[in-house]
Amino acid sequence: MKEELKNLCGSVYFDEPLSRLTTIRVGGPADALVYPKTIDELATLAQFANKNHLPLFVLGAGSNLLVKDKGIRGIVVNLSQGFNKVGVENEKDGDVILYVEAGVGIPRLVDFTAEEGLTGLEPISGIPGNLGGALVMNAGTPDGDISNAVMSATFLEKDGKIMTWDKERIKFSYRESHFPKGAIILSAHLQLTRLASELVKGRVQKYRAQRVETQPLNVPNLGSVFKNPIPKSSKGSEKKLFAGKLIEEAGLKDIRVGGARISPKHGNFIVNEGGAKAKDVLVLIGLIKDKVREKYGISLETEVRIVGDE
């Protein structure tokens, strides 16, 4: 199967450490790491995995992802080498349709829109990751999610069939989307609006500066570990809850396990201070869940995706 896999795609690596591909620099090896460059290669790869009953996992830019210490079995796919086109496809009366492929990084996408004078993506300025991962988890901030700009998304089903769904069918929700199980995002169409480039650049710089000031972006980190809890009551007067504040008020800020640490800068971030293992991070995640539940009766839900073998 290794020989057959190498014939399917030019860039295939076996027993490849995934720590270098995650933002927290943690993670064991992938049995096979593959970089398909075309939709045909990707479709053939999906069919190969399906035929041989091999797990297939799509790894984006490695943000909001914790790979366990024994790594990921089967095939890990990365789209960064072939699916990186972005451009204006259509424009009418100031409304602009942007075509973006799944491997395009969010920082690059936001910079492109700022240069072009397109507004709508400023709230996600400074978010790491690529478009594919951002769509799957509906990446965003309290000021807005990427779903606000989505018109449609095209994806590959596990049997190799290509589908396009509009925004309503995807059914975005808070840090979630509802693509079919096993779907691989290929591209999306985003709807943005013309605005003076300097105004868009100013907004982008403002959002990025806020993130630098409040988050530990200068060290390897996991991104936001937990989703902000949604109050059970739907009354308008209900106070909004923030995971980071709950963690800090529970006295957990700055706690260390091995090389992992709950950031002293932001309670909802876990950082790697050097030599951290996934097991260290998992201990901190479990500790946070237990303490917040004990103090507030709130069960925090992880925003970060945890994959792989112990």
Q: Are residues 199 and 248 in the same domain?
A: no
Q: Are residues 125 and 204 in the same domain?
A: yes
Boundary-marking domain end, from 77, 99, 129: 77
% helix / strand / coil in the chain, to the nearest 5?
A: 30, 30, 40
Q: Are residues 196 and 92 in the same domain?
A: yes
Based on DSSP, count helices (H) and strands (E) in the chain, helices before strands. Answer: 8, 18
Position 230: which residue type? Answer: I
Count Cβ neighbours within 10 Å for each residue of 276-305 and write b for 16 or more, e otherwise. Answer: bbbebbbebbebbbebbeeeeebebebbbe
φ, ψ at 124 (rounded to 5°) = -95, 10
Q: Are residues 120 and 199 in the same domain?
A: yes
Q: Are residues 152 and 264 in the same domain?
A: no
Q: Are residues 175 and 107 in the same domain?
A: yes
With tokens 């989307």, the residue in question is 177
Q: Report the interhelical angle of 106-116 vs 197-214 (nearest 10°).
A: 150
Instruction: Note down pLDDT in tens along the chain; length 310 residues.
Output: 899 999 988 799 999 999 999 999 999 999 999 999 999 999 999 999 999 999 999 999 999 999 999 999 999 999 999 999 999 999 998 899 999 999 999 999 999 999 999 999 999 998 989 999 999 999 998 899 999 999 999 999 987 889 999 999 999 999 999 999 989 999 999 999 999 999 999 999 999 999 999 999 999 999 999 999 987 654 554 678 999 999 999 999 999 999 999 999 999 999 999 999 999 999 999 999 999 999 999 999 999 999 998 7
Q: Is 224 a catalytic residue?
A: yes
Q: Are residues 100 and 209 in the same domain?
A: yes
Count up the domains in the chain and report the number.
3
Boundary-marking domain end, from 213, 246, 268: 213
- Find the CATH number of the domain harbouring 134: 3.30.465.10
Q: Are residues 52 and 94 in the same domain?
A: no
The tally of CA atoms less than 13 A away on the side-chain side of residue 13 is: 11
* 37 CB-contact burial (10 Å; exposed 0-12 / middle 13-18 / buried 19+): middle
Q: Are residues 131 and 42 in the same domain?
A: no
Boundary-marking domain end, from 77, 100, 120: 77
φ, ψ at 222 (rounded to 5°) = -95, -5
Alpha helices in 52-185 (DSSP H): 106-116, 131-136, 167-170
pTM of the prediction?
A: 0.91
* Catalytic one of 19, 187, 224, 263: 224
Q: Is 175 a catalytic residue?
A: yes
Whether 145 contacts 172, CB under 8 Å: yes
Cα-Cα-Cα-Cα torsion 269, 275, 278, 281, nearest 10 degrees, comes to -30
Alpha helices in 52-173 (DSSP H): 106-116, 131-136, 167-170
DSSP code, position 54: -
Q: Are residues 94 and 199 in the same domain?
A: yes
Q: Are residues 144 and 179 in the same domain?
A: yes
* Catalytic one of 175, 194, 208, 211: 175
- Find the CATH number of the domain harbouring 225: 3.90.78.10
- Find the CATH number of the domain harbouring 21: 3.30.43.10
Q: Is 197 a catalytic residue?
A: no
What range does the domain containing 183 cover?
A: 86-213
Q: Are residues 209 and 109 in the same domain?
A: yes
